[in-house]
Structure 1
Amino acid sequence: MITYINNKAHEFNDLEQAFSEDPDTKEMFWLNISNPTANDFKFLKNKFNFHHLTIEDCMHKAKRSKINDYNDYHFLIISTTDNNVSNAFSYNNIYIYISLNYIITIHYGENKSIKKIINDINNGLSIVSNGSDFVLYNILDDAIDQLFIVTDKVEEKINFLEEESMNNPVQSTLNNIMKIKKTVIKLRRVVSPLREVLNTLLRHDDIITEKYRVYFTDIYDHALRIYDLIESDHEMVTSCLELYSSQLSNSMNKVMKVLTIITTIMMPLTIITGIYGMNFQDMPELHYKYGYFITIFIMFFISFCEIIYFNKKKWL
């Protein structure tokens, strides 16, 4: 699907149709391409003379955020998230060609950031007419907002896992901790290069006009904050894993303590039964009328005394 946006959004099935109906590329426009085909890339390369390496990045779905400078345009890869960490954190990229006269975005599947901006334009907001850098700002701003949502959800899940590690250190808790740890690591891999891209953008006067520089500075500050939150989440996950291991060890120690106490209580009883289980002929107690009851009483009395002693020592 091709979305050609100037004063308002227009939908087209292919690029040739979009430019045949509005062939003037000197006026500022935004071209959004969802799920591009090989013919779309061929058209872009011929019409705008885009470098073949950038085309390859788009076709091969390069994942790391970056920015490349060329003579007449700049090429960016921006990572956006689906703000869903219920099962597995995932993200998709927006591939952006930008110059003073146009901005071209390419993505695969539905992208929430792009969809939101198009809806805003359809609702009457003036975005494209304010320049390509303002469109780029809106894309980046929404991408950063989505990252804030993800980090909040991650932090909530980590807090829940901390309670689970404290109260119920079972195998499923460990599995969930490892899943959220992978999510945090993946988030850091997304945000770290995005932070570098924003830092580079702030030094490009040919992309960002002075009017909107403060907007990009604000986004960069948000990216730094997100990165700090992710680092904090990583430390929290590590602490959660240590807490799980500690609680598991404590649980095991409690079990061993109970077993040790039981063994200690049974030890003198075993000695008594072992002595009277020997097959000697001359054992006077064997023929005593109440010998069995006296022995049982002594065994219970010894066990009771041991329990009182353990309780006094606070071993129970």
Structure 2
Amino acid sequence: MSPQKYLRYLGLPSLFGTHRTKEIFNINPTAAPEREEAKQIFITVFNYNAEKVEERKLDKIEECFAYRDSNQISWINIDGIRKKDVEAVSTQFGIHALLIEDILSMHQRPKMDEVEGVLYCLLNMLYFNSTTRTVETEQISIVLGRHFVVSFQEDADRDVFDPIRFKLRMANSKIRQRTADYLLYAMLDIIVDNYFIVMEKLGEQVELLEEEVIRRSNTKSLARINQLRKELIVLKRNIAPVRDLLNGIIRSESDLLDDRTTKYFKDVYDHIIQAYDLSENYRDMMTSMQDLYINNVNLKLNEVMKVMAIVTCLLAPATVIGGIFGMNFDFIPSIHNKWGFFSAVGFMLLIPIWMLWAFRKRGWF
């Protein structure tokens, strides 16, 4: 009776995390999104210029409509995606229907579009979950208008924009002195900078895994290599398209982008190139680590085979001597000698000892 037939009913977790593979690769951009509507949304507004700043938390989506034609710069951040709210905001702020589909989409590739007087950026914020040791993503859509920036986030409990909020509250901060496109730069810059924090966490995991593989290679080590390779796939998938996004902004001739801000976007572009190169280095390290694991397993197998071969060689003289003196012949030399048995046992011990000395002298072990 095969035990595997019944083990599948125990619900044991997969050692190699095949469910994670499904999460990473089971993405079909042509399928209709199955996004769950947010039960509650949180709306925050920063309305500012060089002299003053107004920070508000709004209760209704309609309250943010007044900031479209404000003489100041307005950053409207909406945490929680609901179709009717996205459509209402898009109608008021002149966001095209194609961009609405992108905002409501899931697992979309990072990109930049310029449609009917607004500039749209879609990318992912990355977080490292220390408990599951996985890279988590949150899609964010950023819409740049003449005097406003509207951002749509999925998770109200976390984002990476607290440093920007802190600078907006400071009277003499550079972000307060510049136009809306500088706010877009600041948001993209801090998202990209957070990529390095995630990569630093992954780098620590790679370093620990490398020590584990060198010290003791086992099935768990191979499972960790497999898991980290998947997380690096998630990392690269989200970093690589951001290069095209920033390159599109730099090459854009939109009136929404000030020429003075272009150099700042070029700086973010340099950072994302560096992040991409670093992710490639991590991928190469994981490939080398997998080769190291296989080499260690083969080395251990060779050591075992060498020990077994030496033991077999050491037992061979005793087997031969015992076989000779165990034959059923009428006449065997020294068969009736009182020292015959002890002599045979002595040869059985002395010959393996001499063989050990010869093997050692030749450096075979």
Q: Using structure 2 for the length normalisation, give the TM-score.
A: 0.80
Question: 2:278 is matched with which residue: 200, 211, 229?
Answer: 229
- The match for 2:64 is 18
Q: Which letter maps to 2:73? A: M
Q: 1:313 to 1:23 in 2, by over 3 A?
A: closer
Q: 1:23 to 1:298 in 2, by over 3 A?
A: closer
Q: Which letter maps to 1:105? A: S
- The match for 1:218 is 267
Q: What is the CA deviation profile of residues 69-126 of structure 1, one whole-angstrom value per residue up to 9, with x for unaligned ones?
A: 1121121102221144661111212101112221100011134223432243345546
Q: Which letter maps to 2:100? A: I
- Asked if the contact 1:5–1:128 (Cα under 8 Å) also holds between the matched residues in 2, the reply is no
Distance 1:190 1:122 in 2: 31
- Asked if the contact 1:14–1:40 (Cα under 8 Å) also holds between the matched residues in 2, the reply is no
Query: Could you tell me the percent identity over the aligned residues?
Result: 29
- The match for 1:112 is 159
- The match for 2:196 is 148
Q: How does 1:92-103 map to 2 (within 5 A)?
A: 92-103=138-149
Deviation at 1:201, TM superposition (A): 0.6
3-state DSSP class of the match of 1:285? coil
Q: 1:129 to 1:33 in 2, by over 3 A?
A: farther
Normalized per residue, which structure has more helix? 1
Q: Which letter maps to 2:266? A: T
Q: Which letter maps to 1:77? A: L
- The match for 1:209 is 258
1:54 has 2:54 as partner: no
3-state DSSP class of the match of 2:334? helix
Q: Which letter maps to 1:138? A: A
Distance 2:96 2:325 in 1: 96
- The match for 1:186 is 234
Distance 2:101 2:245 in 1: 20
- The match for 2:326 is 277
- The match for 1:5 is 46
Q: 1:140 to 1:201 in 2, by over 3 A?
A: same
Distance 1:33 1:286 in 2: 100
Q: Which letter maps to 1:42? A: E
Deviation at 1:225, TM superposition (A): 0.9
Q: What is the CA deviation profile of residues 264-292 of structure 1, one whole-angstrom value per residue up to 9, with x for unaligned ones?
A: 11112112222233344433433322222
- Asked if the contact 1:4–1:31 (Cα under 8 Å) also holds between the matched residues in 2, the reply is yes
Report the RMSD for the aligned CA atoms in angstroms.
2.1
Distance 2:259 2:90 in 1: 30
Q: Which letter maps to 1:303? A: P
Q: Which letter maps to 2:175? A: I
3-state DSSP class of the match of 1:5? strand
- Asked if the contact 2:68–2:147 (Cα under 8 Å) also holds between the matched residues in 1, the reply is no
Q: How does 1:153-168 map to 2 (within 5 A)?
A: 153-168=201-216
Distance 2:44 2:74 in 1: 11
Q: Which letter maps to 2:193? A: D
Distance 2:95 2:161 in 1: 22
1:74 has 2:133 as partner: no
- The match for 2:73 is 28
Unaligned ranges ≥5, structure 2: 1-41, 48-52
Distance 1:112 1:41 in 2: 19
3-state DSSP class of the match of 2:251? coil
Q: Which letter maps to 2:148? A: Y
Q: Which letter maps to 1:296? A: V
1:137 has 2:185 as partner: yes
Distance 1:305 1:64 in 2: 70
- Asked if the contact 1:202–1:213 (Cα under 8 Å) also holds between the matched residues in 2, the reply is yes
Distance 1:182 1:152 in 2: 16
1:251 has 2:292 as partner: no
